[in-house]
Every structure is written in C-alpha cells, then in structure tokens.
C-alpha cells in the first residue's frame, strides 16, 4: 500500500500521487510563523506535524522541497511595531531568530527555503496586477486593491473549497480590510492595503500608490515563485483553512497561471487544534506555553517533540505536563534499550530489521497513524528487552536492531539523549587510566580515577571499554 493522506479539498483520505511525472520530487509549502511574538506550543504542534510529513516523504525515498514562509508584514506585526516604536525589520528579527532556534531545539529539519514576505513585494505586486488584468480585482479610492468574490464565482470558480460557506447572506461588493475575519464576515478581501497613518513607516510603493500587501496574497506569491504555479502539498493549522487558505486558492487559481485543468495545490493537509490541560490555551488561564516556558520547567526539546508526536494530526490533542512526563518515561525506556543494544552490538553495520520497519511504514502510510507506529516500536522494544535479559540476542542481531532504530528515528526525530561532550583534558585522564590498567599499575589507575572524580567525572566500565560520564 502506498501513502494515503486526508485531503481537505475532498474531505477524504486519498492516495498521495506526486505531480512529478517521474514520481520523485515533491513540492511542499507550510505556512510559517507570524513573527510578532514567540511561537506557542499549539504553533509547534503544527510545525512538528509539517516536519513529520517531510521526514516521512524522505524516508519513502522522495526528494522534498519544503518551503516555509516567514510572515513579517501583517496587521498584528504593524500594531506591535507602532506600539514599540521599533523599525519593522528590527522588531521581527528578534522573533525570527527565536523561531529558528526553537526549530533546532525541537529537532525539526530546516526547511529548504524560508522566504520573508517583506522581501517579495515585487512578486506580490505582479500577482495583484494579474488579478486586476483578469477583472477579478478592483481598486478603491483609498489606494487599496480588493479581490472580487462575485467576479471569481461568476467565472465558474468555487469560493469555499476547504470550508462550506453561505453566500445567501453575503452582500455583493462588501469588503473586509483586516487580515483575519470569521466565516460569517465573508466579503471581498484586501490584496493591497493603501497606506494609512496607523501603518507608520511600514509601506512600499506600488502602481496603486504607497501601501502594503494583505496577508493572504503573500503566501500565494511566495509559494508559486518557489514551487511553481501547481505543487503537491500545502500544510497549516486548521485555523488557517478560512480565510487564509481559501483566499490563497482564490488568488492563485484566479491568476490563471496553472496549466489547463491544473490546481494550485493537489493536497491540502490541516493539523488539528491543541488544548492545554483540557482547555483552550489563554494567557489569562495560565496554560499558555511557549517552548521556552517548557524548557524552563526542565523539559527537553526531544521530550516536547515526542509528546507532540503522540496524537494523530487530525485529532484535537490535549497537551498536559503529565503527558510530557509520560513522553520522558517513554523515551527513557527506548534509551535504555538502545544503550544495552549498543553495548552488545557488533561493530559492522547490519541491515535494518524489515518486519518492524514494515509495520512502521504501514502505520504511517495510513494517513500518518503515529499511534500505531509507536505501538509497533514499543512492542519491539519489549521483545528486545526480553531477549536481552535472556541472553538470546547476539551481536549481529543487536546491530540490526540499532540500524532499524536509526531508520525509524529519521522520521520521528526524537534522537539520542544529549551526550555531554567530554573535554580533551578529561579524555587524556581516561586514556592515562586505561594505560595504567594495561600496565597493571593499579595504584596509578586508581589515582587517576580519583582525580577524574574530583573533577566531576566518573568512569564506567562497559563490555566495549571504559567511558566517562558526569557525576
Ligand atoms: Zn500562509
């Protein structure tokens, strides 16, 4: 069975078939952070979900081009820029840097491209010009440009592909200027917003006068520039379905840049919401967590990543500190099993064990069923521990099990516990102690051991030789 994924466009699980005729290359766009604050744990759930999709596609042998934009021009940012009286770039740079650091802490593979909206104004202007030329956009007296839903629908296109919309209530030509609005407020949306005093210094020249882009057009312009007018996968949190993604489809397909019959995006994937301790996250409830809040509580990036990968991406996930403890315990079980395997394993690389890999792939092929994938892994770990305790596993089998884990972890990315680097001075002492033992100078060996201890390191003798670890 090949990979099957739920497609929001069809509201059904479909075979995933790449657009590339060779079936090899995949273009994937994920809506990235709006850099006006630190990303919270709900945002991280979506970004880790995007990382899982990319890693699993790579595991299956595809060549993935993953683009994640940086939204650095939009209503909330401009408001904060005005409040803090900081230049736009200076304000966003701080949160952008924090975002990339957090991405690393959570062991997400770096997207291949991370375009900033502020650096794609010419592409955005060109796309709006196409929509104007096709009669799907119109200018207003304040120097703005709006997308006409009426004209778009009159041409036979469907507005409301990802969500069902009720057009009976809609008044033709009514406009919405803000980047975010509810389904009930469906109206012509802003492609370009004419400059107003509240924008401060955030504006660019355009054929329609000074102003700035609407949020939705940014993603259409950047995704099509880097991935072409039609690409395979577009991901985001379910809160982005409307209006953001719906508007992206209308703008991108309205521009008529696809081949006849071609779509802007083949497959839309949306990650579900996250609750914290059973409730919607809110600063006022004290259940609002950024990554740094959780790190400050003593959790590690891999524990947080593991917790966020326990639930299916389309299920609302209840994130709890208890769940983080459970992730810590689960990882400790895996680490313990891996440590024993490493002590036993033959040095030669062994091929990965096919049955577990097969079960893992079967689970993830089924719309990324992570629960079944973890189930197979823990079952295998139990079985391995049983064999190890009965001395029923040889060095070759242990090496094979380790190779299997490496393959699985290329998708899960929960990695190894952070090994503390051994300083050269400590390594020299360890070598001296080993040399003394070899020369049967046990007095000297013990003296070096004590010296290491005084410096905070303890020697562990293992079947593979001696190593040091922090006291
Ligand atoms: Zn977007």
For residues 25 and 265, give the distance between their C-alpha atoms in angstroms, rounded to a whole number. Answer: 15
What's the CA-to-centroid distance between 237 and ligand 1, angstroms? Answer: 10
Per the document, the length of the chain is 471
What's the CA-to-centroid distance between 224 and ligand 1, angstroms? Answer: 12
For residues 146 and 128, give the distance between their C-alpha atoms in angstroms, rounded to a whole number. Answer: 9
Stretch 137-143: mean pLDDT, rounded? 96
Express as a percent the part of the chain with pLDDT over 90. 83
Q: Do residues 313 and 271 make contact, with C-beta atoms less than 8 angstroms apart?
A: yes
**Mean pLDDT score of the chain:** 93
For residues 328 and 308, give the distance between their C-alpha atoms in angstroms, rounded to a whole number. Answer: 12
Residue in the structure block whose two tokens are 């650095």: 72
Nearest to 135 by CA among 157, 116, 118: 157
A 10 A CB-CB count for 168 gives 5
> Taking each helix axis from N to C terminus, what angle separates 88-105 and 75-84, rounded to the nearest 10 degrees?
120
Q: Do residues 121 and 110 make contact, with C-beta atoms less than 8 angstroms apart?
A: no
What's the CA-to-centroid distance between 70 and ligand 1, angstroms? Answer: 9
Question: pLDDT, tens digit, for every residue of 367-414?
Answer: 999 999 999 999 999 999 999 999 999 999 999 999 999 999 999 999
pLDDT at 167: 83
What's the CA-to-centroid distance between 96 and ligand 1, angstroms? Answer: 16
A 10 A CB-CB count for 104 gives 11
What's the CA-to-centroid distance between 217 and ligand 1, angstroms? Answer: 9
For residues 263 and 161, give the distance between their C-alpha atoms in angstroms, rounded to a whole number. Answer: 12
DSSP lists the bridge partners of residue 459 as: 468
Nearest to 129 by CA among 259, 256, 260: 256
Stretch 153-175: mean pLDDT, rounded? 88
Residue in the structure block whose two tokens are 């042998």: 61
What's the CA-to-centroid distance between 30 and ligand 1, angstroms? Answer: 7
pTM: 0.88
What's the CA-to-centroid distance between 244 and ligand 1, angstroms? Answer: 6
Question: pLDDT, tens digit, for every residue of 51-107?
Answer: 999 999 999 999 999 999 999 999 999 999 999 999 999 999 999 999 999 999 999
What's the CA-to-centroid distance between 349 and ligand 1, angstroms? Answer: 43
Stretch 140-161: mean pLDDT, rounded? 95
For residues 46 and 48, give the distance between their C-alpha atoms in angstroms, rounded to a whole number. Answer: 5
Q: Do residues 296 and 264 make contact, with C-beta atoms less than 8 angstroms apart?
A: no
Question: pLDDT, tens digit, for every residue of 177-231?
Answer: 999 988 877 899 999 999 999 999 999 999 999 999 999 999 999 999 999 999 9
A 10 A CB-CB count for 173 gives 12
What's the CA-to-centroid distance between 38 and ligand 1, angstroms? Answer: 18
What's the CA-to-centroid distance between 216 and ligand 1, angstroms? Answer: 6
Nearest to 178 by CA among 243, 122, 233: 243
Q: Do residues 275 and 22 make contact, with C-beta atoms less than 8 angstroms apart?
A: no
What's the CA-to-centroid distance between 196 and ligand 1, angstroms? Answer: 24
- Window from 346-350, 359-363, 415-419 with minimum mean pLDDT: 415-419
Nearest to 276 by CA among 456, 44, 8: 44
Residue 421 binned pLDDT confidence (cut-offs 50, 70, 90): low
What's the CA-to-centroid distance between 240 and ligand 1, angstroms? Answer: 8
What's the CA-to-centroid distance between 72 and ligand 1, angstroms? Answer: 11
Whether the pLDDT of residue 470 is over 70: the answer is: no
DSSP code of residue 197: G
Q: Which one has a higher pLDDT value, 425 or 184?
A: 425
pLDDT at 416: 74
Whether the pLDDT of residue 451 is over 60: the answer is: yes
What's the CA-to-centroid distance between 36 and ligand 1, angstroms? Answer: 15
What's the CA-to-centroid distance between 300 and ligand 1, angstroms? Answer: 29
What's the CA-to-centroid distance between 219 and ligand 1, angstroms? Answer: 5
DSSP code of residue 244: I
Nearest to 395 by CA among 346, 337, 351: 346
Question: pLDDT, tens digit, for every residue of 17-64?
Answer: 999 999 999 999 999 999 999 999 999 999 999 999 999 999 999 999
Nearest to 270 by CA among 38, 49, 437: 49
What's the CA-to-centroid distance between 180 and ligand 1, angstroms? Answer: 12
What's the CA-to-centroid distance between 32 and ligand 1, angstroms? Answer: 7
First CA to last CA distance, the chain = 49
SS3 369: coil
What's the CA-to-centroid distance between 286 and ligand 1, angstroms? Answer: 28
Stretch 304-316: mean pLDDT, rounded? 96
What's the CA-to-centroid distance between 377 and ligand 1, angstroms? Answer: 35
Residue 415 binned pLDDT confidence (cut-offs 50, 70, 90): confident
DSSP character string of 302-342: HHHHHHHTSS-TTS-EEE-HHHHHHHHHHHHHHHHHHHHHH
pLDDT at 419: 57
DSSP-derived pairing of the beta strands 274-276 and 317-319: parallel
């Amino acid at each position: 069975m090949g990979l099957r994924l739920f497609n929001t466009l069809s509201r059904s699980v479909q075979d995933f078939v790449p657009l590339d005729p060779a079936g090899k290359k995949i273009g994937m766009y994920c809506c990235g952070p709006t850099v006006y604050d630190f990303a919270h744990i709900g945002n991280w759930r979506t970004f880790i979900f995007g990382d899982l999709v990319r890693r699993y596609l790579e595991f299956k042998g595809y060549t993935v081009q993953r683009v994640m934009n940086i939204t650095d021009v939009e209503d909330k940012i401009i408001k904060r820029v005005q409040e803090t009286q900081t230049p736009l770039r200076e304000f966003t740079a701080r949160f952008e840097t924090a975002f990339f650091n957090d991405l690393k802490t959570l062991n997400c593979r770096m997207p291949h491209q991370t375009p900033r909206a502020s650096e794609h104004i010419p592409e955005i202007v060109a796309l709006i010009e196409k929509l104007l030329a096709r009669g799907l956009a119109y200018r207003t007296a304040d120097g703005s440009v709006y997308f006409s839903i009426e004209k778009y629908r009159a041409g036979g296109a469907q507005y409301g592909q990802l969500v069902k919309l009720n057009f009976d209530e809609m008044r033709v030509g009514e406009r919405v200027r803000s980047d975010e609005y509810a389904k009930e407020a469906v109206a012509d949306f802003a492609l370009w917003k004419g400059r107003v005093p509240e924008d401060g210094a955030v504006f660019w020249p355009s054929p329609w006068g000074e102003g700035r882009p609407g949020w939705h057009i940014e993603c259409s312009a950047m995704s099509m520039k880097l991935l072409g007018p039609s690409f395979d996968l577009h991901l985001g949190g379910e809160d982005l379905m409307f209006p953001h993604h719906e508007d992206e489809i209308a703008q991108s397909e309205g521009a008529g840049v696809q081949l006849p019959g071609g779509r802007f995006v083949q497959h839309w994937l949306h990650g579900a919401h996250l609750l914290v301790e059973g409730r919607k996250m809110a600063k006022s409830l004290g259940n609002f967590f950024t990554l740094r809040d959780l790190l400050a509580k003593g959790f590690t990036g891999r524990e947080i990543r593991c917790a966020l990968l326990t639930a299916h991406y389309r299920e609302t996930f209840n994130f709890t500190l208890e769940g983080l403890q459970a992730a810590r315990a689960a990882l400790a079980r895996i680490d313990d099993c891996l440590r024993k395997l490493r002590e036993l394993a033959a040095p030669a690389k062994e091929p990965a064990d096919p049955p577990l890999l097969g079960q893992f792939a079967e689970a993830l092929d089924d719309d990324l069923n992570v629960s079944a994938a973890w189930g197979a892994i823990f079952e295998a770990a139990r079985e391995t521990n049983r064999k190890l305790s009965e001395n029923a596993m040889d060095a070759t089998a242990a090496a094979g099990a380790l190779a299997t884990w490496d393959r699985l972890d290329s998708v899960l990315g929960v990695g190894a516990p952070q090994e503390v680097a051994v300083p050269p001075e400590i390594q020299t002492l360890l070598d001296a102690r080993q040399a003394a033992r070899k020369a049967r100078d046990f007095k000297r060996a013990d003296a070096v051991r004590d010296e290491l201890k005084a410096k905070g390191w303890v020697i562990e003798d293992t079947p593979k030789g001696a190593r040091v670890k922090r006291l």
